[in-house]
Amino acid sequence: MLYSFDECIKKYNNLYQIEKMIQSGKLYKIDRGVYSDKKQVSELEVVAFKYPNAVFAMDSAFYYHGLTDVIPDVFHLATNRDAAKIRSTNVKQVFYRDTIFPIGVDSISYQNVMIRIYDKERMLIELIRNKSALPFDYYKEIIESYRKITQDLDIEKLQDYIMQFSKKDHIMNAIRLEVL
């Protein structure tokens, strides 16, 4: 289990006791302000713990949803426009307006780690919105994956989401032509 510095202070009373637990091997410092009772912790678990208000998006979300087998080089996280900049070399951050940031946020368990992630319907919209920024082969692979799961998509939810975005007609037409 992961603990923040503040949680460790509450549990062990002071910094000296925390250091003592680390030296005894009962507590491990994983990252700045992140501690664990296990020596090995997945990087995904640490990122999800450090940025609890962020949402896994783009390449990370496509991979975690099983829409591609391309493992992302970095974690792609979406945050509210007002959020602080994430200064980590293993995180690529994208900022969204307040009106669209919460659309499609879901929680899933991936490799026994609970993560906040955009659902497949929202990610289909993001795929269309970011088509020109993605490599053609990668885009086509994900579109093919969506074609295989069309029966699993909630079309009403997808239409509701689309209505919140600018260029809604373009997004809807692209989805009809390429996926449905």
DSSP for 12-31, written as a single string: HSSHHHHHHHHHHTSSEEEE
Mean pLDDT across the stretch 120-139?
A: 95
Task: State the pTM of this model.
Answer: 0.89
Give yes or no: residues 136 and 56 share one domain: yes
Give yes or no: residues 80 and 108 share one domain: yes
Query: Which residues make beta-bridge pairs with 2?
Result: 36
pLDDT tens per residue, range 54-80:
999 999 999 999 999 999 999 999 999
95: left (phi over 0), alpha (psi -120 to 50) or beta: beta
Give yes or no: residues 67 and 152 share one domain: yes
Cβ–Cβ < 8 Å for 107, 141: no
- 15: pLDDT strictly greater than 90: no
Mean pLDDT across the stretch 150-178?
A: 92
* H helix count then E strand count, the chain: 8, 8
Give yes or no: residues 138 and 164 share one domain: yes
Tokens of 112: 């026994």
Give yes or no: residues 50 and 32 share one domain: no
**Strand ordering across the sheet containing 105-110:** 91-96, 75-80, 55-56, 113-118, 105-110
pLDDT for 180: 82
Q: Which domain holds residue 83?
A: 46-178
The mean pLDDT value of the chain amounts to: 93
Give yes or no: residues 23 and 82 share one domain: no
Give yes or no: residues 100 and 163 share one domain: yes
Give yes or no: residues 85 and 16 share one domain: no
Tokens of 38: 């296990």
pLDDT for 20: 87
> Residue 1 — pLDDT band, cuts 50, 70, 90?
confident
